[in-house]
Amino acid sequence: MAFTITKTIRPNAVWQEMYLQVQKDQRVIIAAEGLWSPEMRPLTTTWCGPDGIEGRMANEKYALPGTNVGALIGRVGESPALSVGNYFDFYSPFAGPLFLSMNENPEYHNQAGTVAAQIILFDV
């Protein structure tokens, strides 16, 4: 039996708790859709989906360097951040609450839009 819920993620670099406890070795599927806009400098507006801006890799000032700017990212408990994008199916090597966020620079505060993420937790 699996548990399914849809959560809305705001477009900023703050980790947002999904209020779901993930167990070690539990299968989790996250399927996301929607449009949001990370802050782009100099001042321009660029919209993207949960996969982020294709070809624009985040530097060390972003939550997850080496992943597309604006991509949906996640973590379980205090684990390292991982790239989620529009679809991610994994067995968690960690236990703890699930957090999701936009891969954004924490110093930027001019984002727009939202992404809806359907999260499926399978029985352990």
Taking alpha carbons only, the member of 28, 67, 73, 66 closest to residue 50 is 73
Q: Domain-by-domain residue ranges, the chain? A: 2-122
Per-residue confidence at 26, pLDDT binned at 50, 70, 90?
A: very high
> Are residues 54 and 120 in contact, defined by beta-carbon separation less than 8 angstroms?
no
Class of domain 2-122: mainly beta
- pLDDT for position 1: 84
- Give the up-direction half-sphere exposure of residue 78: CA atoms within 13 A in the CB hemisphere: 0
Could you report the per-residue pLDDT of 40-89, keeping only the tens digit for each?
887 777 999 999 999 999 999 999 999 999 999 999 999 999 999 999 99
pTM of the complete model: 0.95
* Residue 106 DSSP one-character state: T
pLDDT at 13: 86
